[in-house]
Amino acid sequence: MLNKNPLWRYILVPGLLLLALLYALPNLYPEDPALHISASRGGVVTEQTRQQLQHSFTAQGITVKSLELSNGQLLARFNSTEAQLQAREIANRELGANYITALNLAPATPHWLAAIGASPMKLGLDLRGGVHFLLAVDINAALEKNLTDMQQSFRADLRENNIRYRSIQADPVAGQVQLLLRSAEDVTKAEALLKQRDRELVFSLSADETSLQVGISELRIKEIRDYALEQNITIIRNRVNEIGVAEPLVQRQGADRIVVQLPGVQDTAQAKEILGATASLEFRLVDTEGDIGAAIAGRAPVGSSLFYSRDGRPVLLEKRIMLTGDHITGASSGYDEYSRPQVLIKLDAKGGAMLSAASKDAVGRRMASVFTEYKPGTEIAADGNRVLLKQQEVINDATITMRLGRDFSITGINTSAEAQNLATLLRAGALIAPVQIIEERTIGPSLGQENISLGLTAIGWGMAAVLVFMAVYYKAFGMVANVALLANLVLIIGLLSLIPGATLTLPGMAGIVLTVGMAVDANVLIFERIREELAEGKSVQQAIHLGYDRAFATIADSNITTLLVALVLFGIGSGPVKGFAVTLAIGILTSIFTAVVGTRLLVNLIWGGRRLQSLPV
Amino acid sequence: MQVFSFTRPLNFMRLKWPAVLLSMLLLVGSLGSFALNGINWGLDFTGGTVIEAGFAQPADLVAVRQTLDGAGYGDAVVQLFGTSRDVLIRIPLRPDIAQAVVGDTVLQALNAQQAEPVTMRRVEFVGPSVGEELKQDGGLAMLAALVGILLYVAMRFEWRLSVGAVAALAHDVILTLGLFSVLQLEFDLTVLAAILALIGYSINDTIVVFDRIRETFRKLRDGSTAEVINTAITSTLNRTVITSLTTILVLVVLFYLGGALIHGFATALLFGIAVGTYSSIYVASAIAEILGISREDMLPPLPIEVDGENGHGQP
């Protein structure tokens, strides 16, 4: 018998290798120092902005490699970091506060590679430097607030329906509201009433028959938790975008955690202030009688003060606050009956009463929502950190058409995107669950670079050691295994570049080194098997055939268990360890492929078609 | 070229009892060390702050300690990390200080003392709850990996082999933890990853041997169990040694060239792979033999169903 390759093997192996090589290629191109420019509130990035900047850069003698506009963002590439830094100063000066500039390293992937979706591997923070935060959301605060709201609305509901009660108290420890009533009859009435108002309440009766405990369902608790988490993520994402970080990551982790990764950021103090800064919201009446011209000149009427809207329009508002944003329990965007965009706002019981009283005599007047946020300015304080600036702006003003209550809506919004944005800001004004930093890791840029070069050196030497060993030990077959090993490396890098969620970390690089050492295992199994078959007196071609055949079951069994472990690792690990699990798993799969299919192709090609007396194994 | 070339199988099982005794002693030693010395948990598990600072000149650790003492961090542990210009400062968790600002204040204090600026290379803060969770998750992950392997091997082979394999893995993990306990090496997240990887690789070795035991049982119709196991181990010995060799080769490279952050990882795997090679020869097979594995267990044409029943019947 002879060992010949079926056609599919000729197609599959070179095909996959070529594909992997193609997707691995972008990693060879160095990165350009780049500048990201995007618009913040009120600004727009247009072709005109692009030309303006191009002009100013040239005028200042800065060579720009390219300046492209895409997705409403400008990306400028430079030849050196100096040019990049100079350009940032110019851009900040020219464009002013309505634009955000962020320094970045942009991959210099050629167009033909980018067109097929190829991009370099994403590097973990331990390799590129930056800050990693793990935030815990204080869900208990949100639950407690919910309980207080329940208590208040129960009181109002019972009073409205003339059910007399002795007391209604929130009990945060038990997560319930305790109602003490006057008779068993009242208990039944109260239960029926409250059940009708809210189907998700959980009632439990006490033995004394005049008290009632009301809790909330697991589902509702989950809703509150998810809401608090989503709200925090939205707020943090907005803030992170404000400080100008290229490729930030803000992601939910588990039930009540948020991961924030800011590549390239070194000033953790600033980052922390931004994460911890509070936003607030208030509703005020618009002062239409005061002289706005005088107010701009600095002479605002007594009882009023001057504010600006997001697009820079001056608005005169009363100093008296109708309602603060912490009474908002929900804000969502939607459409009214004429399918015009609107924002629906829900208030807690106390807020509803306050707004109802404040809007009683104000029907027909305009009410403005003022958003207050703290963000770092350009000034540097004595401690080296940027001074936080209080920034207040009017995000919406609308006419009050009727007396407002616990549920009301804001209409007259232009687009549904705007309505969504407004709903987000309104929610942000009432942060119901504060966050706390429970983990923080900062990697300096020099350490990141050093880790990359350490990793590369280790991979290089590890590879060299194994290549030499295999060539010496298995001679010609060893060379075949070595070709497979190199192919393996290309496959791993290609896959890591291709898989969107995969990031390369320092432990990940260690995983590659380890894979290099272990990848030869499958080949060793096969070669040893071939040797055994030869020793037992089988013919050369039979030995090759049986060697591959018999070793395959062993290779599969032993690698499936290892894969199992890699999955477990992926499940528990955070950042760097996850990176290790990913490279481990990919390495296992590629090494099975290269050993079982790849080397078979070569071995059959070289030795399979001839009548031989011995094998160089 | 060949490492070993034997005409007759080596009698590995003759040393079964001494090997079991040796393993027992090592296990007792490791467990004793956990009880006496405990494990030197790293920042990832204990919580606290670690600051790695780069100095322009070789650092004067005494001066650094004094500066930290002055700044109110008398309990800081200061040591060199990798090079003489790289200083690692550990500050344990304390309820009375705001942990989030420790990194910044320490760097400011160091900068005030030094003529040339100190560069921040790395600041890591881990809160107390995170570390506790990680210990639990890590332990859980190890258990999950072991149980997964136990089930897979029981399904594919036989419950006695499965027990042997998992015993060998637990043996490797405990001895590696023992090494970290005896030498008081720092046990951080990368070491945990290394130990889990070790479970993956050690089982690899064991499965190869088991696979051959199964095959040999079917081939050597009249051999005793011990003979079969000896033959199987002998014929896979070359592969076992070569694969361990190439793996140890790259691990030595990692140990020396991988940098200080990877040191613990490389140490755990180096030791673990060495122990794992021994345990897949002795511990796994010896336990299967002691549990009384026989040809009948391996022969049925439909091993999966029969093994499944056996596996459920036994604890």
Asked if the C-beta of A389 comes within 8 angstroms of chain B's C-beta atoms, the answer is no
Do B272 and B164 fall into the same domain?
yes
Given B63, B95, B126, the domain boundary residue is: B126
CA distances A287 to A284, A305, A315, B70, Å, are 9, 9, 8, 57
pLDDT of residue A385: 47
Do B35 and B52 fall into the same domain?
no
Residues of chain A within CATH 3.30.70.260 domain(s) are 32-106
The shortest CB-CB distance from B203 to any of A447, A561, A580 is to: A561
In degrees to the nearest 10, what's the CA dihedral of A169, A171, A172, A173?
Answer: 170
Assembly ipTM: 0.85
Do B114 and B96 fall into the same domain?
yes
Do B261 and B167 fall into the same domain?
yes
pLDDT of residue B30: 96
Q: Is the pLDDT confidence value at A242 over 90?
A: no
Residues A347 and A327 sit within 8 Å (Cβ to Cβ)? yes
Do B175 and B292 fall into the same domain?
yes
How many distinct structural domains can be found in chain B? 2
pLDDT of residue B100: 62
H or E element, residue A314: strand A314-324
Burial of A361 (0-12, 13-18, 19+ CB in 10 A): exposed
Q: With respect to CATH, is domain A279-430 assigned 3.40.30.160?
A: no
Asked if the C-beta of A236 comes within 8 angstroms of chain B's C-beta atoms, the answer is no
Q: Which of B3, B196, B198 to mutate to test the interface with A (most CBs of A within 10 A)?
A: B196
Q: Could you tell me which chain A residue has the CA closest to the CA of B119?
A: A444
Q: What is the CATH number of the domain that holds B121?
A: 3.30.70.3400
Confidence of residue A431 (pLDDT cuts 50, 70, 90): low
- Which comes out higher in pLDDT, residue A276 or B102? B102
Strands (DSSP E) found in A245-311: 249-253, 257-263, 280-286, 304-308
Do B210 and B62 fall into the same domain?
no
pLDDT of residue A277: 64
Q: A100 by DSSP, 3-state: which? A: strand
Q: Is the pLDDT confidence value at B309 over 50?
A: no
Please, what is the average pLDDT of chain A?
A: 84
Return all residues near A163 (Cβ < 8 A) that are at least 6 apart.
Answer: A181, A186, A189, A190, A193
Residues of chain A within CATH 1.20.1640.10 domain(s) are 7-26+444-607
Looking at mean pLDDT, say which of A317-321, B26-30, B53-57, B222-226 comes out highest: B26-30
Asked, for residue B268, whether it belongs to a domain, the answer is yes
Are A558 and B211 in contact (CB < 8 Å)?
yes
Asked, for residue B4, whether it belongs to a domain, the answer is no
pLDDT of residue B313: 40
Asked, for residue B18, whether it belongs to a domain, the answer is yes
Confidence of residue A40 (pLDDT cuts 50, 70, 90): low
Do B86 and B221 fall into the same domain?
no
Q: Count other Cβ atoms within 10 Å, centred on residue B132.
A: 13
What is the percent of chain A where pLDDT is above 90?
15
Are B204 and A559 in contact (CB < 8 Å)?
yes
Do B225 and B99 fall into the same domain?
no
Q: What is the CATH number of the domain that holds B150?
A: 1.20.1640.10
Return the minimum-mean-pLDDT range out of A256-260, B2-6, B187-191.
B2-6
Q: Could you tell me which chain B residue has the CA closest to the CA of A438?
A: B127
Q: Could you tell me which chain B residue has the CA closest to the CA of A446?
A: B121
Average pLDDT over residues A516-540: 89
Q: Which of B92, B103, B94, B126 is nearest to B53 (CA)?
A: B103
pLDDT of residue B307: 45
pLDDT of residue B31: 95
Q: For the domain bounded by A32-106, which CATH number is listed? A: 3.30.70.260
The shortest CB-CB distance from B253 to any of A436, A442, A465 is to: A465
Query: In the CATH hierarchy, which top-level class contains the domain A140-220?
Result: alpha beta
Do B234 and B194 fall into the same domain?
yes
Q: Is the pLDDT confidence value at A405 over 90?
A: no
- A-chain CB neighbours of B211 within 8 Å are 553-554, 557-558
Q: For the domain bounded by A7-26+444-607, which CATH number is listed? A: 1.20.1640.10
| DSSP assignment string, A435-485 | EEEEEEEEE-HHHHHHHHHHHHHHHHHHHHHHHHHHHHHHHHHHHHHHHHH
- Say how far apart CA A106 and CA A513 lie, in whole Å: 27
Confidence of residue A589 (pLDDT cuts 50, 70, 90): very high
pLDDT of residue A380: 54
Do B71 and B110 fall into the same domain?
yes
The reported pTM is: 0.77
pLDDT of residue B97: 63
Q: Is the pLDDT confidence value at A216 over 90?
A: no
For the stretch B31-59, pLDDT in tens is 999 999 999 998 888 888 899 998 888 88
Do B165 and B255 fall into the same domain?
yes
Average pLDDT over residues A317-334: 84
pLDDT of residue A43: 64
The shortest CB-CB distance from B141 to any of A510, A559, A569 is to: A569
What's CA A614's distance to the chain center, in Å?
59
- Say how far apart CA B214 and CA B188 lie, in whole Å: 39
- Say how far apart CA B130 and CA B53 lie, in whole Å: 24
Confidence of residue A36 (pLDDT cuts 50, 70, 90): confident
Asked, for residue B315, whether it belongs to a domain, the answer is no
Structural domain of B95: 48-126
- B-chain CB neighbours of A446 within 8 Å are 54, 119, 121
Which amino acid is residue A230, in one-letter code?
E
Q: Is the pLDDT confidence value at A406 over 90?
A: no
Q: Is the pLDDT confidence value at B308 over 50?
A: no
What is the percent of chain B where pLDDT is above 70?
92
Residues of chain A within CATH 3.30.1360.200 domain(s) are 279-430
Do B36 and B168 fall into the same domain?
yes
Residues of chain A within CATH 3.30.1240 domain(s) are 140-220
pLDDT of residue A463: 93
